[in-house]
Protein backbone atom coordinates (compact mmCIF):
# COMPACT_ATOMS: atom_id res chain seq x y z
CA UNK A 1 0.00 0.00 0.00
CA UNK A 2 1.26 3.46 -0.89
CA UNK A 3 2.05 5.94 1.86
CA UNK A 4 0.46 8.70 -0.23
CA UNK A 5 -3.28 9.11 -0.21
CA UNK A 6 -4.92 9.24 -3.60
CA UNK A 7 -6.72 12.45 -4.37
CA UNK A 8 -10.31 12.14 -5.59
CA UNK A 9 -10.80 12.77 -9.28
CA UNK A 10 -12.67 16.01 -9.88
CA UNK A 11 -14.44 16.68 -13.13
CA UNK A 12 -15.38 20.16 -14.23
CA UNK A 13 -16.58 21.75 -17.43
CA UNK A 14 -15.36 24.95 -18.96
CA UNK A 15 -15.96 27.04 -22.03
CA UNK A 16 -12.37 28.25 -22.27
CA UNK A 17 -8.86 27.50 -21.08
CA UNK A 18 -6.21 30.14 -20.53
CA UNK A 19 -2.57 29.18 -21.01
CA UNK A 20 0.13 31.35 -19.44
CA UNK A 21 2.97 31.11 -21.94
CA UNK A 22 4.93 34.17 -20.87
CA UNK A 23 4.87 34.27 -17.09
CA UNK A 24 2.12 36.87 -16.84
CA UNK A 25 -0.14 34.87 -14.51
CA UNK A 26 2.46 32.69 -12.83
CA UNK A 27 5.99 33.86 -12.07
CA UNK A 28 8.09 31.18 -13.73
CA UNK A 29 11.33 33.16 -13.73
CA UNK A 30 13.11 30.94 -11.17
CA UNK A 31 12.50 27.81 -13.25
CA UNK A 32 13.45 29.52 -16.52
CA UNK A 33 16.65 30.90 -15.00
CA UNK A 34 17.51 27.49 -13.56
CA UNK A 35 17.04 25.90 -17.00
CA UNK A 36 19.25 28.50 -18.72
CA UNK A 37 21.75 28.14 -15.88
CA UNK A 38 21.96 24.44 -16.65
CA UNK A 39 22.49 25.18 -20.34
CA UNK A 40 25.29 27.57 -19.34
CA UNK A 41 26.96 24.93 -17.21
CA UNK A 42 26.60 22.35 -20.01
CA UNK A 43 28.43 24.62 -22.46
CA UNK A 44 30.99 25.98 -19.99
CA UNK A 45 29.63 29.54 -19.90
CA UNK A 46 28.91 31.88 -17.01
CA UNK A 47 25.28 31.26 -15.95
CA UNK A 48 24.73 34.94 -15.11
CA UNK A 49 25.76 35.95 -18.63
CA UNK A 50 23.62 33.30 -20.35
CA UNK A 51 20.58 34.07 -18.19
CA UNK A 52 20.87 37.79 -18.92
CA UNK A 53 21.40 37.19 -22.64
CA UNK A 54 18.35 34.95 -23.00
CA UNK A 55 15.66 37.05 -21.30
CA UNK A 56 12.90 38.16 -23.63
CA UNK A 57 14.03 35.97 -26.51
CA UNK A 58 12.64 32.77 -27.96
CA UNK A 59 14.21 29.52 -26.79
CA UNK A 60 14.89 28.47 -30.39
CA UNK A 61 16.92 31.65 -31.01
CA UNK A 62 18.82 31.31 -27.72
CA UNK A 63 19.64 27.67 -28.33
CA UNK A 64 20.86 28.50 -31.84
CA UNK A 65 23.12 31.19 -30.36
CA UNK A 66 24.54 29.24 -27.44
CA UNK A 67 24.52 25.77 -29.02
CA UNK A 68 25.39 26.41 -32.68
CA UNK A 69 26.20 22.74 -33.19
CA UNK A 70 22.46 21.89 -33.10
CA UNK A 71 21.37 21.08 -36.63
CA UNK A 72 18.16 22.57 -38.04
CA UNK A 73 16.38 19.21 -38.12
CA UNK A 74 17.28 18.64 -34.42
CA UNK A 75 16.14 22.05 -33.15
CA UNK A 76 12.49 21.20 -32.44
CA UNK A 77 13.53 18.28 -30.23
CA UNK A 78 16.11 20.47 -28.45
CA UNK A 79 13.54 23.19 -27.77
CA UNK A 80 11.11 20.58 -26.44
CA UNK A 81 13.78 19.13 -24.16
CA UNK A 82 14.69 22.62 -22.91
CA UNK A 83 11.05 23.50 -22.22
CA UNK A 84 10.61 20.21 -20.36
CA UNK A 85 13.62 21.13 -18.21
CA UNK A 86 11.80 24.33 -17.21
CA UNK A 87 8.89 22.18 -16.03
CA UNK A 88 11.32 19.93 -14.13
CA UNK A 89 12.82 22.91 -12.29
CA UNK A 90 9.36 24.36 -11.58
CA UNK A 91 8.16 21.05 -10.16
CA UNK A 92 11.31 20.70 -8.04
CA UNK A 93 10.85 24.22 -6.68
CA UNK A 94 7.19 23.60 -5.90
CA UNK A 95 7.99 20.30 -4.20
CA UNK A 96 11.13 21.27 -2.29
CA UNK A 97 11.41 25.08 -2.40
CA UNK A 98 10.49 27.61 0.28
CA UNK A 99 6.85 27.39 1.34
CA UNK A 100 6.45 23.87 -0.05
CA UNK A 101 6.47 22.04 3.28
CA UNK A 102 3.89 22.50 6.04
CA UNK A 103 5.07 25.14 8.47
CA UNK A 104 7.77 26.52 6.19
CA UNK A 105 7.63 30.21 5.34
CA UNK A 106 6.41 31.23 1.90
CA UNK A 107 9.09 32.81 -0.25
CA UNK A 108 9.31 36.49 -1.01
CA UNK A 109 9.88 36.65 -4.74
CA UNK A 110 11.85 39.47 -6.29
CA UNK A 111 12.91 37.99 -9.61
CA UNK A 112 14.25 41.30 -10.88
CA UNK A 113 16.81 41.52 -8.09
CA UNK A 114 18.61 38.35 -9.16
CA UNK A 115 18.59 38.91 -12.90
CA UNK A 116 21.89 40.39 -14.10
CA UNK A 117 21.89 42.78 -17.03
CA UNK A 118 24.17 42.79 -20.05
CA UNK A 119 24.25 46.56 -20.33
CA UNK A 120 23.43 49.30 -17.84
CA UNK A 121 20.52 50.51 -19.97
CA UNK A 122 18.84 47.11 -20.17
CA UNK A 123 17.33 47.50 -16.71
CA UNK A 124 15.98 51.00 -17.27
CA UNK A 125 12.32 51.28 -16.39
CA UNK A 126 9.85 51.40 -19.21
CA UNK A 127 8.15 54.71 -19.94
CA UNK A 128 5.01 52.90 -21.04
CA UNK A 129 2.04 52.71 -18.73
CA UNK A 130 0.99 49.26 -17.55
CA UNK A 131 -1.25 47.47 -20.02
CA UNK A 132 -3.85 46.61 -17.37
CA UNK A 133 -5.39 48.64 -14.64
CA UNK A 134 -4.53 47.36 -11.14
CA UNK A 135 -8.16 46.43 -10.62
CA UNK A 136 -8.27 44.08 -13.62
CA UNK A 137 -11.00 41.52 -13.13
CA UNK A 138 -12.21 39.02 -15.71
CA UNK A 139 -15.82 39.39 -16.88
CA UNK A 140 -18.41 37.58 -14.76
CA UNK A 141 -19.09 35.00 -17.44
CA UNK A 142 -15.47 33.82 -17.18
CA UNK A 143 -15.74 33.17 -13.45
CA UNK A 144 -19.27 31.74 -13.41
CA UNK A 145 -19.54 28.06 -12.51
CA UNK A 146 -21.36 25.79 -14.89
CA UNK A 147 -24.45 24.02 -13.52
- Residue 39 placed within a domain: yes
Q: How far apart are CA 32 and CA 59, in angstroms?
A: 10
- Residue 64 placed within a domain: yes
Q: Which residue segment(s) compose the domain that 68 sits in?
A: 26-102
- Residue 34 placed within a domain: yes
Residue 127 has pLDDT above 80, yes or no: no
- First-last CA distance in the chain: 37
- Residue 57 placed within a domain: yes
Average pLDDT, the chain: 75
- Residue 141 placed within a domain: no
What would the pLDDT profile of 85-118 be if each residue is shown by its tens digit? Answer: 999 998 888 788 776 677 666 555 444 444 444 4
Looking from the CA of 119 toward its CB, the CA atoms found within 13 Å total 3
DSSP 133: -
The number of domains in the chain is: 1
- Residue 78 placed within a domain: yes
- Residue 54 placed within a domain: yes
Amino acid sequence: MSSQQQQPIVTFFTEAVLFDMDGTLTDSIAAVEAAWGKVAMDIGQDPAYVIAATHGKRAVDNLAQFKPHIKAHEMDDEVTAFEESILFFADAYNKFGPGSQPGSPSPTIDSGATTPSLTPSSSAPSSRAPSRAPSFRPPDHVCRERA
